[in-house]
């Protein structure tokens, strides 16, 4: 069985949703909500806290490697705007 591809939104949802993640990380709801659409997804300075939260909530799929993979998968802004 292939594991589903994680997205910033699926990670946030798995950890309890925007409000829960924001409260756990002492951030505003709008900051966490913005990660769903932000190029690059979740900012790296928050990865360790998210992995700790995931561990506490029994979500082993949320790892530093999974978060790094999200960034690596994200097309760069320059590539997305380059003429074909």
Question: Does residue 1 register a pLDDT over 80?
Answer: no
Work out the number of other CB atoms within 10 angstroms of the CB of residue 74.
15
DSSP string, 27-40: --HHHHHHHTTSTT
Number of domains, the chain: 1
Q: Is the pTM of this model over 0.75?
A: yes
Alpha helix locations (H) across 1-84? 8-14, 18-24, 29-35, 47-56, 64-73, 77-81
Local confidence band at 79 (pLDDT 50, 70, 90 cut-offs):
very low
CATH of residue 20's domain is 1.10.260
Q: What percentage of the chain carries pLDDT values higher than 90?
A: 70
Mean pLDDT of the chain: 86
The residue segments making up the domain with residue 54 are 8-74
Q: Is residue 79 part of a domain?
A: no
| 40 assigned to some structural domain | yes
pLDDT band at 32 (very low <50, low <70, confident <90, very high): very high
């Amino acid at each position: 069985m292939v594991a589903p591809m994680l997205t910033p939104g699926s990670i946030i949802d798995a950890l309890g949703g925007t409000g829960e993640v924001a409260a756990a990380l002492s951030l505003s709801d709008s900051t966490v909500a913005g990660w769903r659409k932000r190029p690059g997804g979740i900012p790296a300075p928050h990865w360790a806290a998210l992995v700790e939260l995931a561990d506490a909530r029994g979500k082993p799929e949320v790892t530093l490697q999974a978060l790094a993979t999200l960034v690596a998968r994200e097309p760069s802004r320059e590539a997305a705007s380059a003429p074909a």
